[in-house]
Amino acid sequence: MLRLTPTHLPQLELKANGITRYKTAGWHQLLKMLDRSMVVEQLERPPVHKVAIPQLPERVLFVDTEETVDDLTVVMTGWVPGVEYPFVFRERMYLVQMPTIVYRVRWSNRKKAIMELSIAVSTDTKVTAESSLFRWPFSNVYHDGRVCWTAQVACELREVVEQGVFGFLQTPNNTHLYGLGASHNAPYREYDEFLRSVQDHQGVPSDWLIPIGKTVVEFHQS
Residues near 192 by beta carbon (within 8 Å), at least 6 away in sequence: 89, 90, 92
pLDDT in tens, 79-117: 999 999 998 898 899 999 999 999 999 999 999 999 999
Give the Cα separation of 211 and 121 in Å (integer).
9
Distances (CA, A) of 201 to 132, 194, 198, 205: 22, 10, 5, 8
Say how many residues make up the chain: 222
The per-residue pLDDT for 20 is: 74
Phi, psi of 43 (to 5 degrees): -65, -30
Average pLDDT over residues 176-202: 93
The per-residue pLDDT for 91 is: 86
Q: How far from chain centre, in Å, is Cα 123?
A: 22
How many CB atoms neighbour CB 70 within 10 A?
6
CB 23 within 8 A of CB 12: yes
Residue 200, pLDDT > 70, answer yes
The per-residue pLDDT for 4 is: 63
The per-residue pLDDT for 154 is: 95
Half-sphere exposure for 138 (CA within 13 Å, toward CB): 31
Q: Which of 186 and 49 is assigned the larger pLDDT?
A: 186
- Split at pLDDT 50, 70, 90, the class of 30 is low
The per-residue pLDDT for 22 is: 72
CB 164 within 8 A of CB 153: yes
User: Please, what's the b/e burial string for 25-64 (b: 16 or more CB within 10 A of its CB; e: otherwise)?
Assistant: beeeeeeeeeeeeeeeeeeeeeeeeeeeeeeebeebbeee
- Split at pLDDT 50, 70, 90, the class of 1 is low
Average pLDDT over residues 72-83: 96
How many CB atoms neighbour CB 159 within 10 A?
17
The per-residue pLDDT for 31 is: 64
Distances (CA, A) of 182 to 10, 91, 135, 142, 148: 74, 24, 9, 9, 15
Predicted TM-score (pTM) of the model is 0.78
**Residue 185, class by beta-carbon neighbours within 10 Å (0-12 exposed, 13-18 middle, 19+ buried)?**
middle
Q: Which of 85 and 13 is assigned the larger pLDDT?
A: 85
Greatest Cα pair distance, the chain, in angstroms, is 98
Q: How far from chain centre, in Å, is Cα 94?
A: 31
Residue 162, pLDDT > 60, answer yes
What residues form DSSP beta bridges with 66?
Answer: 73
Residue 177, pLDDT > 80, answer yes
Residue 18, pLDDT > 90, answer no
The per-residue pLDDT for 194 is: 95
**181 DSSP 8-state letter:** T
